Structure 1
Amino acid sequence: MKLLRCSALFSIVVASTISSVAHSTEEQDLFSLSFEDLLEVHVDLATKTTETLSSVPSTMTVFNRKQIQALGIDNAYEIMNFVPGMQSTRGDWVGAVPKDHARGVYLDSGNVLVMINGERVNESSFGKASVYMPYIPIEVIEKIEFIRGPGSAIYGSNAFLGVMNIVTSKERNAMQLVVGNNGRYGATGQFNRTVNDSTAVYATFSYDQKDGESYPQGVKDPLEAIYLEAGVDYKKLKLSARYNKTELDEFLNLAGYSKQNQHTSDNTFVGIKYNWVNNDKLKLDSSYSYTEHNISSAGLIVAFDDMPDFLVGPAWQTTDSKFETELSYQFNNQWQLAAGVEYSEAKQVEAGVRTSYYDDQSGLIIIDPSYYQQGIVTVMDFPEFAALKYTFETYSAYGQLKIPYTKAFTLYVGARYDEVNNIDSKLSPRLAGVYVINPEHTVKLQYGESFRTPVTNELFSNDDVTVGNPALRSESVKTTELVWHFQTSELQANAVLFYNELNDFINIEPTQSNDALFTFANSFNSQNSGIELDGTWQSNKEFSVTGTYTQYFEDPINASFKRFASLVTSYNLSDSWQLSLNVLWRDKVEVSSVSGAYFKQSAYTLLGGSLKWQLNAKSQLMLKAENLLGKQYNVFDPRMDNGAVAGTTEDLSLHYQFNF
């Protein structure tokens, strides 16, 4: 396959540098990370100032590399299932593309901002990151930080109900091979070298392929994915580049199961960052980044008895350019300022269609045997999609001030202003107070506002499934949180009460048009609230357990789980063996679908985990498992006739890693 040939070529190029690596870096032993290290992990996602989980003024969850690997999962989006208030499931388009749930909102519109190394992945046509980047291999990840709740005061649009920042590995020399059930195999390589005192280089490649599990609808869920990353740090200059491509055919696309379904997406990113000043008081950076997103998809709309099936989908390209300058400054009175200005241009460059029926003369999709194209063809510059070629220009400025009012009480004040030309302007304020009662107990009170700008698909779409609404306004949320944080040398626990006021929410609605099934509208204003609990207990070096529980006080927006929980246990069997088991629990869901069909999924539990054997100081073997018992279950999607999307089945894989 094309992806396999590309992966092999990249492997040869990168592998040629191995022999010149003077000093290899060994991965830390699996069991060497102490509980105190976990408590004091540094995060700067929420404030642009270095904080710990105890002092940070946002509700946060952080996973390091060892924790991620122990979960037995493969895709970064799956980590959401172990975060209070967040979930990741399948949806109707594309079924194997992860669909995020956050704080009682189950919509397909990008209400969680996804970033890789601080650079946004969400783009301007569909909004959600996973449509264009549905698979991010966990092997390339060093750490993942989650903001649970609003983040627009720093990150602007899409940082609505949460932020996920994926930090990739840049200081690792390792090779990993994987084989598994359902025809899975893959490889990951990570390389870095310090050339001299002023220059360092790194490179990463990852390739994954699987045939997929068979489903009752007569389809599989195959995957082929490649991820490439490279960079150079030279004195004060940082250059980085990233490319990924994912194929997800068959399974479910546009609410239709079919072996003819097709979905391919890719992203190319390049970035440059320069540090102007870096001393004890002032740090000043400027950066430029460019990202190109491509999607080529087609899903079954109608299966005919007397003529070939009708399939349709987008052939779209969007680009993102961003200039940013940000600074941090520490005053003599210990106040800290983080501020920045930003200009971004998000553009939909191509708006073609992939269809099995087309009339070249009229430029229309006409479902008639005489217009059948003998398969799926790509039509660029599709007339009905012309309005999708739109450019969003955004001018932004933000500032966050950390005020240590007393030794026990710290105040955070900040806001961001975004001017989206011809669409909207938004001020996103934020206020938080952190009070340390004693070394064990900390209380936080937080208020923030966030927004999400409508995307081109919502504003201007015009196909057989949806028709856009150019009159849409940005949706917004006002969030108040009360947080209690507790920690000792053996236990860390958090309890979070949140209240959201949701305004101008954009949702799909049935339309009376003969040309489409749905449209978009600022459907409603609403409120929701809930409690999020999590805790980690490490009784000794050998055993630890982490649990989460979420309870919403109102029904979710679009039917989803009102209660859910997770439990992760790790036990060091010896100096070289570790067993980790995890359980995901989901409450029942009962609802009527758009067609009137009744959907019911009883409460269920999924078991997963990993077994790791440290062969020696440089190599390890790990067995991973997801849905170990092969539980069959469905998740609800309102656009399916019966409301049901098949959940993932058992996934077993064996990983061998060698550090050099």
Structure 2
Amino acid sequence: MNISRSWRRRLCVLTGLWVGSISGGVAKEVVNPFSLSFDELLEQQVTLSSKSAVALDVSPSTVTVFTRQMLDRLAVTNLYDVLNYVPGFQVTRGDWVGAVSKEHARGVFLDNGYVLFMIDGQRINEISFGKASVYMPYIALDLAERIEIIRGPGSALYGSNAFMGVVNMITRKQDNVAKLRVGSHGEKSLTASYQHSISKDVTGHVLLDYRDRSGATHAYQEELVTDPQTHWYLQAGVKAGDFTLRARANESNMDGFINLGGASADNLYESKNVALSAEYQWWQHEGSQLTTQLEWSEHHIATSGLVVPANSWLSNDFFTGPNWITRNLKFSTDGVWQWGQTTELSAGVTLLKAKQTQAGTLTTHIAPDRSDFQLEDNAYLGQITRFDEITVFNDLMASQDAKTAYAQLKWQAAERLTIYAGMRYDNIERLDANWSPRMSLIYQPTAQQSWRVQYGQAFRTPTTNELFSRDSVTVGNPALQQEKIETIEGIWRWQGQQSQLEVVYFHNNMQDFVDKVPADGQSQFTFANTQSHRMRGIEVSANIRLSPSLESRAAYTQLFDKPFSDSYKRYGQVGLGYQQAPWSINVDALWRDEINTDSVFYQGSLVLVNAKISWQGTANSTVFLEATNLFDKEYVTYEPRVSGLSMPGEQPRLSLGYEYRF
């Protein structure tokens, strides 16, 4: 698909599709009308914050929800990019062991997994790097039926990594749909969802997503590099009465782009994940239930980046990267008990066995005994070579088993006053036991508004890389303890028939942050619990219905303290949506303030515009056109891991798609 670089021509394409669709005649009557997303928010309920369904205005956590209809109006396609539409969060593409998404969460921009990501309640974050996006850099939004996001601490229910937030993607299991997309930079994608009732009590579903693109061309350190990507995801499940079985697998390939700070056409990136889960609901009655789950997952990464270019003392480029595998096995039982009309108890126990089972490398230079890397010409292998084991990484093959228990009490103290109080206990192998309390007081003076005061603590367990690495650059510190955060939030929320407003004030005290420090008497670095940090801010969001078919939405975040690791201090989003069958037209503008790292790096404030137009031609089919970075804004994002401190920003993307529901 040949797409012009001129934004004017992009606008012509958008307009041309619109006019051309109109000239095609009158659309047939639709059975799935394009209702306003605002209508969905009026009666919205969430389960992520309390383990049982509660309305947004009485949730014990600050929660943002995206339904399928809301997601269909966004031009972005990756789950991580949805965080740009969430108050308190931003996402930029950075570099770790490949070009992956990095979260800016309430003033914290770090690499080690401060936001917990889950698919159908099963965690993606693993123990070697901590971040979900390292092993799973692309999660297609087309897979989602619904996304629930906790803004703030979630360890009282979900343990480690639920530090600054929790994101749970609930996949499609109850619809039959096929979606095709083609676009700029060779983009091609296919998503299909199919569910079938096998018998009265047995249903099955299959979910597939495949996407490929040849890649945009980016300027990076005075060179031009391309960004090819291929991703696939497959999920299948069956529900028989009270028993549910699900399996999923995915793979991502992003060869030839930026990796470990170096850009080379020979860079390699491949990740694979496999997961199984079985769930049995022992009983359910009048709001009470008891469920047992068994989950298993395995995470593979094989990646190699250009670390040292050929020079006067090294005749060939030095490439290296991890060839690692981690596994999780989790057994859990969760229950919710209703006592009368005023009291609800949620409680559960978990046994987790997590282990890194492989610590090899993909490299071009290695010592003859495979004990360590060797940057000498006589150690050159002729090409990037895969090793499943290397002695210098052996200490990484460690476990992080855990035993946990939590309990949470919900008490309707008065007609307009609800109180939540909870606590979680985590006993993690080789580390101190951790307690994560939470409390929420919710007062509803009227049916339209609520006031909440929330307190919570959360933690992050150090990764195996931070605890046990032992190479020429870093030395792990087995004495590390969990990073901790203490959060107080005040929330005012208004839910009317024509408007929804929310104001959140948060105050975070972060303790024992893991930081790199020089190792004693060596040129290496080690890790230590050294830093404490205070972060305060305000998050404002609004949805306003301007007419029966027109709505506006806006969000703004202001931090009062200097962000940690040079994140954005102010940012926001405004959008306008028109929904009138058969049309859906949505435009969003994302604004970010400047980043200035003491004259070392500077990026001025910027606005990125995304747009999507959909036309429902029949009751079962929809054509859509979507564009990101519509006005071709050239920009970079701050990335402290690369020598130039910057990563190229997203280039304009335009795609045409077709969805058929059957």
TM-score, reference length from structure 1: 0.93
- 8 Å Cα contact 2:38/2:543 also seen in 1: no
- 8 Å Cα contact 1:606/1:627 also seen in 2: yes
Which residue number in structure 2 is paired with residue 272 of structure 1? 278
Structure 1 residue 200 and structure 2 residue 206: aligned? no
Structure 1 residue 104 and structure 2 residue 107: aligned? yes
Q: Bigger CA drift: 213-222 or 462-471?
A: 462-471
Which residue number in structure 2 is paired with residue 157 of structure 1? 160
Q: Say if 1:45 and 1:204 are closer, same or farther in 2 by CA, change over 3 A.
A: same
- Which of 45, 48, 56 aligns to 1:45? It is 48
- Which of 176, 194, 198 aligns to 1:173? It is 176
Which residue number in structure 2 is paired with residue 643 of structure 1? 645
Which residue number in structure 2 is paired with residue 363 of structure 1? 371
Structure 1 residue 302 and structure 2 residue 305: aligned? no
Q: Please state how far the C-alpha of 1:225 moved relative to its aligned partner.
A: 0.2
Quick one: which amino acid aligns to residue 283 of structure 2?
A: V
Structure 1 residue 617 and structure 2 residue 623: aligned? no
* 1:134-283 matches, cutoff 5 A: 134-216=137-219, 217-280=223-286, 282-283=288-289
Q: Please state how far the C-alpha of 1:30 moved relative to its aligned partner.
A: 4.9
Quick one: which amino acid aligns to residue 524 of structure 1?
A: Q
Per the alignment, in what secondary structure is the counterpart of residue 564 of structure 1?
Answer: strand
Q: Say if 1:515 and 1:348 are closer, same or farther in 2 by CA, change over 3 A.
A: farther
Q: Say if 1:513 and 1:32 are closer, same or farther in 2 by CA, change over 3 A.
A: farther
Per the alignment, in what secondary structure is the counterpart of residue 392 of structure 1?
Answer: coil
- Which of 293, 297, 302 aligns to 1:287? It is 293
Measured in 1, the distance between the counterparts of 2:61 and 2:30 equals 31
Quick one: which amino acid aligns to residue 656 of structure 1?
A: Y
Measured in 2, the distance between the counterparts of 1:198 and 1:87 equals 43
Q: Say if 1:286 and 1:389 are closer, same or farther in 2 by CA, change over 3 A.
A: same
**Aligned-residue CA RMSD (Å):** 1.6
Q: Please state how far the C-alpha of 1:361 moved relative to its aligned partner.
A: 2.6
Measured in 2, the distance between the counterparts of 1:610 and 1:351 equals 44
Measured in 2, the distance between the counterparts of 1:509 and 1:30 equals 58
- Which of 526, 529, 535 aligns to 1:522? It is 529
Q: Bigger CA drift: 166-175 or 63-72?
A: 63-72
Which residue number in structure 1 is paired with residue 548 of structure 2? 541
Measured in 2, the distance between the counterparts of 1:244 and 1:37 equals 31
Quick one: which amino acid aligns to residue 285 of structure 1?
A: T
- 8 Å Cα contact 2:207/2:234 also seen in 1: yes
Measured in 2, the distance between the counterparts of 1:523 and 1:210 equals 43
Q: Please state how far the C-alpha of 1:333 moved relative to its aligned partner.
A: 4.3
Quick one: which amino acid aligns to residue 171 of structure 1?
A: Q
Which residue number in structure 1 is paired with residue 5 of structure 2? none
Which residue number in structure 1 is paired with residue 406 of structure 2? 398
- 8 Å Cα contact 1:59/1:147 also seen in 2: yes
Per the alignment, in what secondary structure is the counterpart of residue 54 of structure 1?
Answer: helix
Deviations 1:574-629 (A, max 9, x none): 4211110011100000115xxxx721100000000201010100000111111111
Q: Say if 1:654 and 1:497 are closer, same or farther in 2 by CA, change over 3 A.
A: same
Which residue number in structure 1 is paired with residue 19 of structure 2? none
Deviations 1:551-580 (A, max 9, x none): 0001111011100001121113x4211110
- Which of 432, 436, 457 aligns to 2:440? It is 432
Quick one: which amino acid aligns to residue 278 of structure 1?
A: Q
- Which of 310, 322, 333 aligns to 2:330? It is 322
Measured in 2, the distance between the counterparts of 1:137 and 1:34 equals 21
- 8 Å Cα contact 2:213/2:230 also seen in 1: yes
- 8 Å Cα contact 1:39/1:53 also seen in 2: no
- 8 Å Cα contact 1:96/1:221 also seen in 2: no
Measured in 1, the distance between the counterparts of 2:105 and 2:208 equals 31
- Which of 478, 489, 508 aligns to 1:500? It is 508
Q: Please state how far the C-alpha of 1:515 moved relative to its aligned partner.
A: 6.3
- 8 Å Cα contact 1:237/1:272 also seen in 2: yes
Measured in 2, the distance between the counterparts of 1:30 and 1:375 equals 56
Deviations 1:104-157 (A, max 9, x none): 110001000001111111001000111011100111111111100000000001
Deviations 1:265-287 (A, max 9, x none): 11100010001111115311111
Measured in 2, the distance between the counterparts of 1:579 and 1:464 equals 54
Q: Please state how far the C-alpha of 1:218 moved relative to its aligned partner.
A: 2.3
Quick one: which amino acid aligns to residue 466 of structure 2?
A: E
Measured in 2, the distance between the counterparts of 1:619 and 1:96 equals 35
Q: Please state how far the C-alpha of 1:33 moved relative to its aligned partner.
A: 5.2
Q: Please state how far the C-alpha of 1:465 moved relative to its aligned partner.
A: 4.3
- 8 Å Cα contact 2:409/2:422 also seen in 1: yes
- 8 Å Cα contact 2:30/2:618 also seen in 1: no
Measured in 1, the distance between the counterparts of 2:553 and 2:518 equals 42
Q: Bigger CA drift: 291-300 or 63-72?
A: 63-72
Q: Please state how far the C-alpha of 1:69 moved relative to its aligned partner.
A: 2.0
Structure 1 residue 557 and structure 2 residue 531: aligned? no
* 1:123-142 matches, cutoff 5 A: 123-142=126-145
Which residue number in structure 1 is paired with residue 8 of structure 2? none
Per the alignment, in what secondary structure is the counterpart of residue 471 of structure 1?
Answer: coil
Measured in 2, the distance between the counterparts of 1:289 and 1:497 equals 36
Measured in 2, the distance between the counterparts of 1:495 and 1:423 equals 37
- 8 Å Cα contact 2:208/2:233 also seen in 1: yes
Q: Bigger CA drift: 362-371 or 333-342?
A: 362-371
Structure 1 residue 62 and structure 2 residue 65: aligned? yes
Q: Please state how far the C-alpha of 1:641 moved relative to its aligned partner.
A: 2.1
Quick one: which amino acid aligns to residue 649 of structure 1?
A: Q
Quick one: which amino acid aligns to residue 54 of structure 1?
A: D
- 8 Å Cα contact 1:35/1:489 also seen in 2: no
Query: Identity over the aligned pairs, expressed in percent?
Result: 38
Q: Please state how far the C-alpha of 1:643 moved relative to its aligned partner.
A: 1.3
- 8 Å Cα contact 1:281/1:331 also seen in 2: no
TM-score, reference length from structure 2: 0.93
- Which of 112, 118, 123 aligns to 2:121? It is 118
Quick one: which amino acid aligns to residue 119 of structure 1?
A: Q
* 1:370-409 matches, cutoff 5 A: 370-409=378-417
Which residue number in structure 2 is paired with residue 416 of structure 1? 424
* 1:531-610 matches, cutoff 5 A: 531-572=538-579, 574-592=580-598, 598-610=600-612
Deviations 1:402-439 (A, max 9, x none): 10001100000101000002122110000100000112
Measured in 1, the distance between the counterparts of 2:48 and 2:326 equals 26
Which residue number in structure 1 is paired with residue 9 of structure 2? none
Q: Say if 1:58 and 1:192 are closer, same or farther in 2 by CA, change over 3 A.
A: same
Deviations 1:480-516 (A, max 9, x none): 0000001110100100000011110113345577664
Quick one: which amino acid aligns to residue 470 of structure 2?
A: N
Measured in 2, the distance between the counterparts of 1:36 and 1:619 equals 23
- 8 Å Cα contact 1:551/1:563 also seen in 2: yes
Measured in 2, the distance between the counterparts of 1:261 and 1:362 equals 22
Measured in 1, the distance between the counterparts of 2:253 and 2:530 equals 33
- 8 Å Cα contact 2:36/2:551 also seen in 1: no
Q: Bigger CA drift: 504-513 or 375-384?
A: 504-513
Any stretches of 5+ residues in structure 2 without a counterpart? 1-28
Measured in 2, the distance between the counterparts of 1:634 and 1:203 equals 39
Measured in 2, the distance between the counterparts of 1:33 and 1:192 equals 26
- 8 Å Cα contact 2:30/2:616 also seen in 1: no
Q: Say if 1:654 and 1:634 are closer, same or farther in 2 by CA, change over 3 A.
A: same
Measured in 1, the distance between the counterparts of 2:521 and 2:592 equals 37
Per the alignment, in what secondary structure is the counterpart of residue 389 of structure 2?
Answer: coil
Measured in 1, the distance between the counterparts of 2:347 and 2:271 equals 34
Per the alignment, in what secondary structure is the counterpart of residue 110 of structure 2?
Answer: coil
Q: Please state how far the C-alpha of 1:521 moved relative to its aligned partner.
A: 2.1
